[in-house]
Amino acid sequence: MIKNIPISDFLGLKNGMALADVRTPAEFAQGHIPGAFNLPLFSNQQRVQVGTTYKQIGREEAILLGFDLTGSKWSGFIRQALVIAPNKKIGVHCWRGGMRSGAMAWALDLYGFDVYLIEGGYKQYRSWVRGQFAAPYPLWIIGGMTGSGKTKILHQLQTMGEQVIDLENLAQHQGSSFGTMNKLVQPTQEQFENNLADGLKNLDPQRTIWVEDESLNIGKLSIPNPFWYQMRDAILIELKVDLAQRITALVEEYGGLDKDFLIASTERIHKRLGPQQTTRAIAAIRENRMEDFIRLVLVYYDKTYRTALSQRTTNRLFSVDITSPSVASHARQLLTFTATIFEPKAGSSSNEWITD
């Protein structure tokens, strides 16, 4: 049985369901629905051949070529689908819900699968993704200068049952010139957006969602503008942490990284750091004076943070002094602080707040 289904309904199916993306490996690598499996009807080159035939000769000739190219592959497609969906229930999509997904759905239905054919295909999914960013969310932002432990507190809040969106994890980057940690590989912009939308769809819009303060760009990726604007307008709780404590934390996190990587990352910010500071920072790296290196680059990052903070609305900006060495204590302190300062405005939407 083949059932046409909107992407929003498919994503809402309880217990999930295997999803086969029959686009080419190149299309899949550019961006795909999180959790989908690639079951390509054509190779990258074969898709070009079929597309060229369609444009230069016509639709019928392109269909015949498609069957010529896939004629010996159908039993393999079915066997792969059985591995993906042993219960023989599967979703299928291509780019626009056209011939590729229709052909795969037909073959799987013939074999006895229950097939959910995604209406509008991946193109419609991308429209759904953009819609997720436009929806209102009750965001609270965790701010603080570099080394304040924002990410660790964010993770601790999640452990304690709070709702969290970890943008740096989704972007596979820690947000500075050193943010790849010499090992992280960022997804494409398209996949980053897909992953973010997937994370948002699982959250309760009536409960607080914690997000770490970020610049618009995280490495080579950009936070989608509608979501970024909500972050800029949201309440921000700044973590106030002693400079010495921040340096210690950063030395622990970055001090053991490859020196060539640290030097190259420092050189990328030389215009903003200044020639003298850059020279001194690189010398400190080479001489293994990691505390000196961190202290020097923090001059730039602290200045940048203060500038960004000054652009926020003051009545939505608060601070908490962090002194305990325990991350769990920090998280509890943050929750206690916010609970005593904010309460929902009666009759308002979930992301409108007033002070006590």
Enumerate the domain spans of the chain: 2-130, 136-355
Q: What is the SS3 assignment for 317?
A: strand
Q: What is the SS3 assignment for 21?
A: strand
2-130: in CATH 3.40.250.10: yes
What is the maximum alpha-carbon separation in the chain? 72
Taking a C-beta distance cutoff of 8 angstroms, is the pair 4, 23 a contact? Answer: no
pLDDT (0 to 100) of residue 133: 96
pLDDT (0 to 100) of residue 338: 86
**CA distances from residue 149 to 196, 199, 290, 321 in whole angstroms, order as listed:** 22, 22, 18, 12
Taking a C-beta distance cutoff of 8 angstroms, is the pair 50, 34 a contact? Answer: no
pLDDT (0 to 100) of residue 342: 57
Taking a C-beta distance cutoff of 8 angstroms, is the pair 17, 7 a contact? Answer: no
Residues facing residue 164 across a β-bridge: 210
Whether the model clears a pTM of 0.85, i.e. scores above it, the answer is: yes
Taking a C-beta distance cutoff of 8 angstroms, is the pair 111, 78 a contact? Answer: yes
pLDDT (0 to 100) of residue 234: 94
Under CATH, which number does the domain 136-355 receive? Answer: 3.40.50.300
From first to last of its 356 residues, the chain has per-residue pLDDT tens of 999 999 999 998 877 799 999 999 999 999 999 999 999 999 999 999 999 998 899 989 988 998 899 989 999 999 999 999 999 999 999 999 889 999 999 999 999 999 999 999 999 999 999 999 999 999 999 999 999 999 999 999 999 999 999 999 999 999 999 999 999 999 999 999 999 999 999 899 999 999 999 999 999 999 999 999 999 999 999 999 999 999 999 999 999 999 999 999 999 999 999 999 999 999 999 999 999 999 999 999 999 999 999 988 888 899 999 877 789 988 998 898 888 775 444 344 444 444 33
Instruction: For residue 256, give every residue at least 6 positions away whose Cβ sits within 8 Å of its Cβ, in sequence order, or none.
Output: none
Query: CA 192 to CA 170: how far, in whole Å?
Result: 6
**CA distances from residue 341 to 31, 237, 322, 351 in whole angstroms, order as listed:** 41, 11, 17, 15
DSSP H/E element including 343: strand 342-344
**Is 215 one of the annotated active-site residues of the chain?**
no
* Active-site residue, selected from the candidate residues 7, 19, 36, 94: 94
